[in-house]
């Protein structure tokens, strides 16, 4: 076990352990022992952390699948209750993008994965360092076996009785309750069997179905569903209200690349 803090570029680190290479990214850690500590399904890791740490706030949308994958693999293999991981991403401008990932274990046994950044949500700029006491952009998630759940996706944060069926299927997919996973497919099918679906509602339901197929690792249907959604967007490309859904679809296609 290494005794001192060190920084290793992914060009060196990932050559040793088989990851993609990038000179833009550096890892800093007190202990870089591969432990596979995090047991969550890669579906949640790639969904939440890609969207939250790269797309939101326009933090690093230009990252390649190889770069994102390298970072996510490092988080999964090296972060533990005892060991934090610091990531520095070289960006144009005078300040780089800094991320610190930690696992917090509460007295009741609850475990949280927390990602701190040096992005100021108020100033809309990268700070010189991560300032844990102010408004730096931070995301945190509950860990429960192979589940990883964003705090606002927890079942106790939502009233399932007042949700549309599409929203309900989405809630089942991302909440912390494994028993709800068995309800996802039939709930989506109920939506898609409705005769009066609008174009946006139809695309939304099909996007949730695609997410479910990614979650299940159903590669054959993932390809078919991706092609089907591409055709839907092409058919309705003149409709301006689909912009947000198209962005979500593009992020989902990126996730598919990360899962390979």
Largest CA-CA distance found in the chain, in angstroms, rounded = 64
Helices and strands per DSSP (H, E), number in the chain: 8, 8
Which tokens go with 199?
């174009």
What one-character DSSP code corresponds to residue 79?
-
Mean confidence (pLDDT) of the chain: 88
Q: What number is the average pLDDT over the span 233-251? A: 96
How do the domains of the chain map onto residue ranges?
6-152, 154-259
What one-character DSSP code corresponds to residue 240?
G
Token pair 């299940």: residue: 216
Higher pLDDT, 126 or 34: 126
User: Which of 147, 175, 178, 145 is CA-nearest to residue 163?
Assistant: 175
Q: What number is the average pLDDT over the span 148-159? A: 96
Provide the pLDDT for residue 94: 84
pLDDT in tens, 39-51: 889 999 999 999 9
User: Which of 29, 10, 37 is CA-nearest to residue 100?
Assistant: 29
Q: What number is the average pLDDT over the span 64-88? A: 92
In whole angstroms, what separates CA 255 from the centre of its chain?
8
What one-character DSSP code corresponds to residue 192?
H
Scored b (16 or more CB within 10 A) or e, 187-223 reads: bbeebeeeeebeeebbbbbbbbbbbbbbbeeeeeebe
Q: What number is the average pLDDT over the span 244-249? A: 97
Provide the pLDDT for residue 216: 96
**pTM of the predicted structure, to 2 decimals:** 0.87
Q: Are 213 and 173 in contact (CB under 8 A)?
A: no
Mean pLDDT check: name the lowest of 130-139, 181-190, 199-208, 250-259: 130-139
Provide the pLDDT for residue 120: 94
Provide the pLDDT for residue 35: 64
Mean pLDDT check: name the lowest of 15-19, 108-112, 115-119: 15-19
Q: Which helix (H) or strand (E) holds 78?
A: helix 65-78
Asked whether the predicted pLDDT for residue 3 surpasses 80, the reply is no
Provide the pLDDT for residue 27: 85
Mean pLDDT check: name the lowest of 18-22, 93-97, 228-232: 18-22
pLDDT-derived band at 23, boundaries 50, 70, 90: confident
Provide the pLDDT for residue 4: 33
Which tokens go with 23?
């000179």
pLDDT-derived band at 36, boundaries 50, 70, 90: low
Calpha distance 258→260 (Å, rounded): 6
Phi and psi, residue 113, nearest 5°: -100, 125
Provide the pLDDT for residue 92: 85
Calpha distance 104→45 (Å, rounded): 17
The share of the chain scoring above pLDDT 70, in percent, equals 89
Q: Are 19 and 13 in contact (CB under 8 A)?
A: yes
Token pair 């596979």: residue: 36
Provide the pLDDT for residue 144: 92
Which tokens go with 242?
């689909």
pLDDT in tens, 177-202: 999 999 999 999 999 999 999 999 99
Q: What number is the average pLDDT over the span 170-183? A: 97
Q: What number is the average pLDDT over the span 134-151? A: 92
């Amino acid at each position: 076990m290494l005794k001192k803090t060190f920084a290793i570029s992914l060009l060196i680190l990932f050559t040793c352990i088989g990851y993609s290479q990038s000179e833009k990214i550096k890892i800093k850690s007190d202990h870089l022992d591969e432990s596979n500590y995090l047991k969550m399904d890669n579906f949640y890791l790639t969904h939440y952390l890609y969207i939250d740490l790269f797309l939101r706030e326009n933090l690093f949308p230009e990252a390649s699948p190889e770069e994102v994958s390298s970072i996510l693999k490092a988080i999964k293999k090296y972060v533990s209750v005892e060991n934090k991981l610091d990531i520095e991403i070289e960006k144009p401008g005078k300040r780089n993008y800094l991320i610190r990932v930690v696992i917090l274990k509460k007295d009741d046994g609850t475990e949280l994965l927390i990602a701190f950044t040096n992005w100021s949500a108020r100033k809309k700029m990268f700070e010189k360092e991560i300032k844990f006491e102010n408004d730096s952009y931070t995301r945190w998630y509950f860990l429960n076996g192979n589940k990883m759940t964003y705090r606002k996706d927890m079942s106790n944060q939502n009233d399932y009785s007042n949700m549309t069926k599409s929203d309900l299927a989405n809630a089942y997919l991302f909440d912390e309750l494994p028993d709800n996973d068995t309800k996802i497919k039939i709930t989506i099918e109920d939506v898609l069997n409705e005769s009066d679906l609008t174009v946006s509602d139809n695309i939304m339901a099909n996007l949730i179905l695609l997410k479910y197929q990614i979650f299940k690792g159903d590669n054959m249907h993932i390809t078919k569903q991706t092609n089907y959604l591409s055709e839907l967007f092409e058919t309705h490309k003149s409709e301006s209200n689909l912009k947000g859904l198209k962005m979500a679809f593009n992020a989902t296609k990126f996730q598919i690349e990360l899962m390979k």
